[in-house]
Structure 1
Amino acid sequence: MSKASLGARGSTARSGTDLGTLFGRFLGSEAPVAIVGYDGSFAGAEDAPVRMEVRTPTALSYILSAPGELGLARAYVTGHLDVTGDLYQLLRTMTSVVDGLSVADRLWLLRQVGLGHLRRVPVPPEEAPGRVLRGIRGLRHSKHRDSAAISQHYDVSNRFYELVLGPSMAYTCACYPAEDSSLEEAQFHKFDLVCRKLGLKPGMRLLDVGCGWGGMVAHAAEHYGVRALGVTLSREQAQWGQKEIVARGLADRAEVRHLDYRDVPETGFDAVSSIGLTEHIGARNLPAYFRFLGSRLNERGRLLNHCITRPTNSDPNHTGPFIDRYVFPDGELEGVGTIISAMQDNGFEVRHSENLREHYARTLAAWCANLDLSWTEAAQEAGVRRARVWALYMAASRLAFERHKLELQQVLGVKVADDGQAAIPLRPDWGV
């Protein structure tokens, strides 16, 4: 990652106690991570494959002034805390270390580091305001505020996303058909799986809400002969997606619009796909969301909802402070039971649910590898700090899926006809 100089280094807050000694007490000699202090101290094995460098006293101020993930993120994004080696491995190790700290351990560490580090430091400009201050943009999940939130994350640089996502430009969980499948094969398989679950056939009409760069729209039009409309709140995504559709010769049956899904005027669709949009909807808005999608469907039309979910319905919906401030402002995650209940209560019969949790961990690992390989160009495109945000959140998200802190659920619903017909095969296997 970035190795930009941050100027002169200071001394530890408490004389006689170096940072290496402090961190070494909790790290352990067998950990695959070493810690280097700005005072020249060292903790961990000399040959550790990953090193975390606390480069300046400001790093400690960030960490102590906003304890937990937000302070660590600020220190890393600004470069006052640096990492050499695999960021995912560092998070995996340090999460275990932090989880093992008792209250007494934390208080001891705070006393040793020194209260002088509890000073206010500038918030990085890449950080969005807190939820309360964001209220000036409008009510949570209003059209204006949603547009601002989506723009912050997605309108970074299409070239940056090309480097991270690869040729598919699919920014959602892939589905790996085999252990040795590539990311591109897995993204193709994911789109194909959605098409099969939706029962797409030539001449049908598909609406893809939150369509991103149009991957699902193009796949359905090209391989299943449907007429497809995709809508996205990101202007850059829409421009890239429509250009790609024209380049692939699909403009006669596929379109990507810069449009809020709530403003889609057309009805009479045979299928709706929602891949990675529900995270931006909000728990309170789920009923209206599913009612609207149902209003766009013909009888016996199907909806495939693909989204990140919580492991339980009792988990909080709001994301943590790092994700909320740096990645997906106003994002919310619900348990799959909440999603299913909202579908059932608002016009859909639920016919199938599938958890692709391990597939998302593997997808994120592939994106992290792409970013590492293209780091120099990616950092030039989006800026070093923004690239660090993506590196951190993708590595942390991979760990969250692996540790079952998050799930990825595909839920298939059908708008049953008045006579009870659902037009679903008796025992569908989706061709897999």
Structure 2
Amino acid sequence: MMEPKLVSENIALLNLIFKNLSPAYFKVRFWTGEEWAPPGLKEPKVTIVIKNPGILAHLLAFPTDVRLGEAYIYDDLDFEGDIYSVFPLGEYLRQLYPRLLTNPFFWRSLFKLRMSVRRARRLEGRQAAKLKGKTHSIERDKQAISYHYDLPPEFYATYLDPMMVYSCAYFRSPDQDLATAQKNKLELVCRKLRLKPGERVLDIGCGWGGFVIYAAKKYRVKILGITLSENQVKYANEWIKREGLEDLAEVRLLDYRQLDEKEPFDKLVSIGMFEHVGSSKLWTYFRKAWKLLKPGGVFLNHGIAADWSWRIKRWSFTDRYVFPDGELLPIYKTLTVAERVGFEIRDVESLREHYVLTLRHWVKNLEKNYEKARQFVDEPTYRVWRLYMAGSAYAFSINEQSVFQSLLVKNRERGENDLPLTREDIYLNWDIME
């Protein structure tokens, strides 16, 4: 099929699908340089660049997020401008697709164009995760964590704040900068835990050590961080040494299930690790936390929540290229298991809107630091991160996903604990470590 014919077939397909889109906010540029826009377009928010003549038909024949993601990360198509504007098109297509399935013209167009798919040179780089072993075994979880977190720390530094916090920030006003908002979050967690000097604290899934450093430096607690990422352990312990905190802080390469229970902790915290636990290990996770905690102690569990039970992993871009074996669970399921283990639920706070702001900061930083990021990772990896973080921001903005901080207490006999009657102390005399 000649180039003009290929372009006209793509245009006919776009006209069929988007003729009723209102308001129009995107345009398409083809590999030839020709452009198409929906009726009524004034100013496009994003331009979708089609580089492979048959990719549109390939995506529409079986529209899954893994197909779209692979088309983008391997450069069959590209997005110029506001990447967030791409995601509402997915909703539009999901609503329209049942009608397209019964349209003969739609299928004839797809057949013609799919015959012209040319597998142009694909970008070299990141491939889908290939994990071995039983799901959520310690060894397989280590593979999953390594797949996402064992890239060079310098890459993460291109979009994270100076404390290298890879979880939702806490914005006391919408215009706060990311660094301040992340210190706000660290301070908020310390205050919810009511940390006191000399207490023994465990950070489950400590990342590069941001909370470990903050809590040890400001609150003078003795804190142990654990992670399954070798790069994070190395980075965190070097940071601890630079800060002169070796007598208070340590990070180990360790799964929470392997931790000795002989000397329990005063406080536990898990910030942004819970997504890796899995529904089959919920009881194991909370029961282990219960055993690791002293009577009267508190556990702050910070994690993303959603109902992903309907998702099929082989069609999921996130599972294949971002967080293999990651699971998002509805908050009621999490808290139900925590209660059955024996914890009392004392406080639950949603930070959903805060994660929208956080992710938008990360995407902006990543795009701004493109050249620097490419010094440490290949082009497909950069694209994976740009796409997944922008898509996550959109999911949080429409309440498809949320994030909660749950404060759990292991009461002493007869329900006794040391928590105050109100939450007022958390917000009084607010100050963060400079």
TM-score (structure 2 length as normaliser): 0.89
Q: Which residue of 1 aligns with 2:25?
A: 32
**Residue by residue, what CA displacement relative to the aligned partner does 1:322-380 show, whole Å, maximum 9, x if unpaired?**
10001000011111111111110112111110111111111000000000100111123
The residue correspondences of 1:209-224 to structure 2 (distance < 5 A) are 209-224=204-219
Q: Which residue of 2 aligns with 1:114?
A: 111
Q: Which residue of 1 aligns with 2:14?
A: 23
Q: Which residue of 2 aligns with 1:194?
A: 189
* Matches of 2:57 and 2:238, distance apart in 1: 46
1:299 aligns with 2:261: no
* Matches of 2:112 and 2:189, distance apart in 1: 54
Code of the residue aligned with 2:388 in structure 1: it is: Y
**Residue by residue, what CA displacement relative to the aligned partner does 1:382-406 show, whole Å, maximum 9, x if unpaired?**
1110000000000000000001100
Q: Which moved more, 1:193-202 or 1:263-272?
A: 263-272
Q: Is the 8 A contact 1:301 1:414 kept in 2?
A: yes
Kindly state the Cα deviation for residue 124 of structure 1 after the two structures are TM-superposed. Answer: 7.9
* Matches of 2:68 and 2:311, distance apart in 1: 22
Q: Which residue of 2 aligns with 1:151?
A: 146
Q: Which residue of 2 aligns with 1:177?
A: 172
Kindly state the Cα deviation for residue 70 of structure 1 after the two structures are TM-superposed. Answer: 1.0
Match of 2:404 among 394, 402, 409: 409
* Matches of 1:406 and 1:209, distance apart in 2: 22
Q: Is the 8 A contact 1:201 1:226 kept in 2?
A: yes
Kindly state the Cα deviation for residue 215 of structure 1 after the two structures are TM-superposed. Answer: 0.8
Q: Is the 8 A contact 1:326 1:389 kept in 2?
A: yes
* Matches of 1:29 and 1:345, distance apart in 2: 49
Kindly state the Cα deviation for residue 418 of structure 1 after the two structures are TM-superposed. Answer: 1.8
Match of 1:342 among 331, 337, 345: 337
Q: Which residue of 2 aligns with 1:11?
A: 3
Code of the residue aligned with 2:25 in structure 1: it is: P
**Structure 1 residues 70 and 11: CA distance shift in structure 2, 3 A:** farther
* Matches of 1:258 and 1:375, distance apart in 2: 31
**Structure 1 residues 98 and 221: CA distance shift in structure 2, 3 A:** same
Q: Is the 8 A contact 1:193 1:430 kept in 2?
A: no
Q: Which residue of 2 aligns with 1:6?
A: none
1:274 aligns with 2:270: yes
**The residue matched to 1:412 in structure 2 has which SS?**
strand
Q: Is the 8 A contact 1:62 1:72 kept in 2?
A: no
**Structure 1 residues 318 and 427: CA distance shift in structure 2, 3 A:** farther
Q: Is the 8 A contact 2:125 2:380 kept in 1?
A: no
Code of the residue aligned with 2:110 in structure 1: it is: V
Kindly state the Cα deviation for residue 111 of structure 1 after the two structures are TM-superposed. Answer: 2.6
* Matches of 2:369 and 2:97, distance apart in 1: 40
**Structure 1 residues 40 and 180: CA distance shift in structure 2, 3 A:** closer
Q: How many residues align?
A: 415
**Structure 1 residues 337 and 30: CA distance shift in structure 2, 3 A:** closer
**Residue by residue, what CA displacement relative to the aligned partner does 1:27-66 show, whole Å, maximum 9, x if unpaired?**
4474221111235542224742421111113534652575
Q: Is the 8 A contact 1:34 1:46 kept in 2?
A: no
**Structure 1 residues 102 and 80: CA distance shift in structure 2, 3 A:** closer
Match of 1:70 among 66, 69, 90: 66
Q: Which moved more, 1:24-33 or 1:142-151?
A: 24-33
Code of the residue aligned with 1:33 in structure 2: it is: F
Q: Which moved more, 1:405-414 or 1:242-251?
A: 242-251
**The residue matched to 2:270 in structure 1 has which SS?**
strand
Code of the residue aligned with 1:11 in structure 2: it is: E
Q: Is the 8 A contact 1:315 1:335 kept in 2?
A: no
* Matches of 1:419 and 1:395, distance apart in 2: 48
Q: Which residue of 2 aligns with 1:325?
A: 320
Q: Is the 8 A contact 1:20 1:35 kept in 2?
A: no
Structure 2 unaligned residues grouped into runs of 5+? 428-434
Q: Which residue of 2 aligns with 1:385?
A: 380
The residue correspondences of 1:226-375 to structure 2 (distance < 5 A) are 226-265=221-260, 267-310=263-306, 315-316=309-310, 321-375=316-370
**The residue matched to 2:424 in structure 1 has which SS?**
coil
**The residue matched to 1:304 in structure 2 has which SS?**
strand
* Matches of 1:351 and 1:43, distance apart in 2: 55
Q: Is the 8 A contact 2:225 2:250 kept in 1?
A: yes
**Structure 1 residues 201 and 316: CA distance shift in structure 2, 3 A:** farther
Code of the residue aligned with 1:111 in structure 2: it is: R
**Residue by residue, what CA displacement relative to the aligned partner does 1:283-318 show, whole Å, maximum 9, x if unpaired?**
1111111111111111101000000001x6x95477
**The residue matched to 1:109 in structure 2 has which SS?**
helix
Deviating 4+ runs (over 4 angstroms): 118-125, 317-320
* Matches of 2:222 and 2:426, distance apart in 1: 22
Match of 2:157 among 159, 162, 168: 162
Code of the residue aligned with 2:11 in structure 1: it is: G
Kindly state the Cα deviation for residue 25 of structure 1 after the two structures are TM-superposed. Answer: 4.0
**Structure 1 residues 58 and 415: CA distance shift in structure 2, 3 A:** same
Identity fraction in percent = 36
Code of the residue aligned with 1:285 in structure 2: it is: K
**Structure 1 residues 26 and 316: CA distance shift in structure 2, 3 A:** closer
**Structure 1 residues 405 and 147: CA distance shift in structure 2, 3 A:** same
Code of the residue aligned with 2:14 in structure 1: it is: F
Q: Is the 8 A contact 1:65 1:71 kept in 2?
A: no
Kindly state the Cα deviation for residue 189 of structure 1 after the two structures are TM-superposed. Answer: 0.9
Q: Is the 8 A contact 1:232 1:257 kept in 2?
A: yes
